[in-house]
Amino acid sequence: MKRFLIPIIILSIYACSNPNKKENKQQSIREQNIIDSLTNTEILDKKVYELKFKEVNGQAVLIGEKIELLDKNLKTIDNISKLSGKIVDIKGVSDSLFNKSKDICDAFWYVKIEIENIIGIVNGRQVFEIQNSNQDTIFIIDSTQIEILTTDFLGMGVDYEGDLMGCPVDQPILIKDTKNNYFGLVDLIQNEYSKKASWDNEYPFFEIRSDDGCYDKIESIIVDGTDIRLKIHRRWQEGENDFEVLLNFADNKYKAEYLNFGEIKYE
């Protein structure tokens, strides 16, 4: 059985400092302005507002228990929940944010998608845009290229136009494996370490975090047969720690399992 230490060709998941918060009064005014600018979908149904899109050419993975496909008037034309976990093409993103509640963290962009013969609009909170490879990790195993790709979902996140919003986000990764003809999400095996890493949030997919709570950086990749071991350094606002995650491809699916989760070293 061969054992390799794979050098990371491209990686730019960086630990960053938390942006300075503005004074409470300024932040309150800014959030109110954002809320005031969100267009309610009920108004759209009455055709008082014309939905406009910016042309985009990209790819995304759909994630959601109930995913509705909408027409240009935001009327439901199909239930495409069966496409959860599938890769779709992005054709456009609305030029404005929208919301169905008073909670700023529920805001989202509408997204035009296409997959095979299915074309329509979906809620951006269920669309996780795949990021370019120059932000992620590419490595070679036995002449086979494997990519670890990060995602950003098209809803309100940690920041908006330079202002810290602090909204919780999911950040699942995808693996693109040419040998196994695989391009998709990585299922997470839940254990005590995964719970520590995710603050007891049992999210079903493996994530590489990059938000106001913590920032992950892959330090090394070790390949042992069919196993891929990631050594990851996490920087928190108040400290840092290290942990290892095992990736394995079996039954036409990649799975991830936390092997440990190191003690946080406080600054």
Amino acid making up residue 154: L
Which CATH fold topology does 24-128 show? SH3 type barrels. (2.30.30)
pLDDT of residue 14: 39
Domain locations in the chain as residue ranges: 3-20+130-266, 24-128
Residue, of 181 and 224, whose pLDDT is higher: 181
Cα–Cα distance for residue pair 39/100, rounded to 1 Å: 9
Cα–Cα distance for residue pair 56/160, rounded to 1 Å: 19
Exposure string over 223-232, b if 16+ CB within 10 A, otherwise e: beeeebbbeb
pLDDT(27) > 60: no
What does each C-alpha distance from 250 to 8, 137, 226, 237 come to in angstroms?
24, 21, 9, 36
Cα–Cα distance for residue pair 261/253, rounded to 1 Å: 24
Residue closest to 100 by CA, chosen among 127, 81, 71, 124: 124
> pLDDT of 139-158, one tens digit each?
777 777 889 999 999 999 87
Residue, of 123 and 29, whose pLDDT is higher: 123
Task: Residue 10: count other Cβ atoms within 10 Å of its Cβ.
Answer: 13
Find tokens 């027409």 and name the residue. 71
Strand residue runs (E) in 52-160: 53-62, 68-70, 76-79, 87-94, 98-99, 110-115, 118-123, 127-130, 137-141, 144-149, 151-153, 159-160
pLDDT of residue 75: 95
Average pLDDT over residues 219-234: 90
* Predicted structure pTM score: 0.81
What is the DSSP secondary structure assignment for residue 225, as one 8-state letter? T
pLDDT of residue 3: 54
Average pLDDT over residues 35-44: 43
* Strand 39-40 to 98-99 pairing: parallel
pLDDT(38) > 60: no
Cα–Cα distance for residue pair 183/92, rounded to 1 Å: 22
> pLDDT of 95-123, one tens digit each?
999 998 889 999 999 999 999 999 999 99
> pLDDT of 73-93, one tens digit each?
999 999 999 999 999 999 999
Question: Residue 52 — pLDDT band, cuts 50, 70, 90?
Answer: very high
